[in-house]
Amino acid sequence: MIKIDLKDRKILYQLDINSRQPYSKIGKKVGLPKKNVDQRINRLIKEGIIKAFYSVIDVYKLGYIIMRFHYKYQYINNEIEKEIIEYFMNDKNSVLIASCSGLYNLKVIRIIKEMNEFYDHWHNIQNKYGYYFQNRSSSLFIDEMYYDYSFLLNDIHLIKREKVTLIGRGKRFEIDDFDFQLLKNLSANSRITLYELAEILNKPPDIIKKHIENLEKNGIIRGFRIDIDISKLGYNIFRAHVFLNDYNMRNDIINYIRCNPNLVFIDTYTGEADLEFEFYLKNINNFHEIMDNLLSKFPQAIKNFQSLHINNYHKFLYMPESK
């Protein structure tokens, strides 16, 4: 665990709100000169606390289908597990890969254009590694709400939190190859400069700026965030898969749980739970305290829940590598 002070926490918080904002602007918000902000961010990167700067892309609006796969291992060893993870890492359509414990051992999210591609992939993975899967499931993405990192600010967070953004809804858009490459580069590095993009994409910076603004206006780019190794700050990632007796109480439950500063994501997928919450917490006891409180608050609405501990994110992107 690495000790950081409140200034560092405020910087991380501001970067997660908008990781493309100038360091001078962050400095004004946290009460530090730009030079000090720059030094602190470089140190946070060197220490591995900041893993990456990324952009949130709503690929639903680009006509993609988002599929999630869960796997529970059997007859596994370290070498085979590494091979399975490497298989998905090399898959250009896999955008999120996470090792887990509890309900499942592996979580994979793939972005596809056609269901036939899903069937081909499903058969390929089963033929290659099906022997090592005790259980498996697949589900379709519906939407995701993500929230700011209020937990970083300790006791000074806002109690009534509004979601940062929602992805998975709205009008579809057609984009050309240029915009696809632009989104791909921004997804991998939200702090890439206009001049760096101009060199990569062979377009003037002012044209690229207009394209970014248009993609934001149409809700395709939903935000600019940072990927933090929260384990270095003493946190763990816990997910709750919640099943409801009364689906009409769903919004009430969301409005209640979003006030928790450690809540980061609320996801909805078909075929599994009715609601999924992701928390960044110190330990498993904190997780059960939150869930026990939620069950006592909505005893008739919530049937039960299952837990999942995310051990490590191996890959985390919002765009496929190829169109």
Residue 288 amino acid letter: H
Average pLDDT over residues 188-202: 96
Q: What is the pLDDT of residue 165?
A: 58
Reported confidence tier of residue 48, pLDDT bands at 50, 70, 90: very high
- pLDDT at residue 163 above 70? no
Instruction: Give the three-state DSSP class for 259.
Output: coil
Strand ranges (E), the chain? 50-57, 65-73, 94-102, 106-112, 133-146, 165-167, 221-228, 236-244, 263-269, 275-281, 302-316
Q: What is the pLDDT of residue 276?
A: 96
| Domain ranges, ordered by start, for the chain | 1-47, 144-167+230-313
Q: What is the pLDDT of residue 118?
A: 80
Alpha-carbon distance of 13 to 9, in angstroms, equals 6
DSSP 203: S
Q: What is the pLDDT of residue 240?
A: 97
- pLDDT at residue 51 above 70? yes
- pLDDT at residue 158 above 90? no
Q: What is the pLDDT of residue 205?
A: 96
Q: What is the pLDDT of residue 225?
A: 93
List the Cα angle 261/267/271 in 5-degree steps.
150
Give the pLDDT confidence of 66-92 residue by residue, as tens digits: 999 999 999 999 999 999 999 999 998
Reported confidence tier of residue 13, pLDDT bands at 50, 70, 90: very high
Q: What is the pLDDT of residue 272?
A: 83
Residue 233 CB partners (closer than 8 Å, separation 6+): 1, 2, 4, 49
- pLDDT at residue 265 above 80? yes
Mean pLDDT across the chain, nearest whole number?
Answer: 91
Choosing among 3.40.50.620, 3.50.50.60, 1.10.10.10, 3.30.420.40, the CATH entry for 1-47 is 1.10.10.10
Q: Which of 37-41, 127-131, 155-159, 184-188 has the lowest mean pLDDT?
A: 155-159
Give the pLDDT confidence of 168-189 residue by residue, as tens digits: 667 788 899 999 999 999 999 9
| C-alpha gyration radius of the chain | 20
Alpha-carbon distance of 248 to 262, in angstroms, equals 25
Reported confidence tier of residue 166, pLDDT bands at 50, 70, 90: low
Residue 29 amino acid letter: K
CATH class of 144-167+230-313: alpha beta
Alpha-carbon distance of 281 to 151, in angstroms, equals 9
Q: What is the pLDDT of residue 155?
A: 56
Alpha-carbon distance of 19 to 11, in angstroms, equals 10
- Are 301 and 185 spatial neighbours (Cβ–Cβ below 8 Å)? no
Average pLDDT over residues 143-169: 70
Q: What is the pLDDT of residue 173?
A: 86
Q: What's the longest Cα–Cα distance across the chain?
A: 59
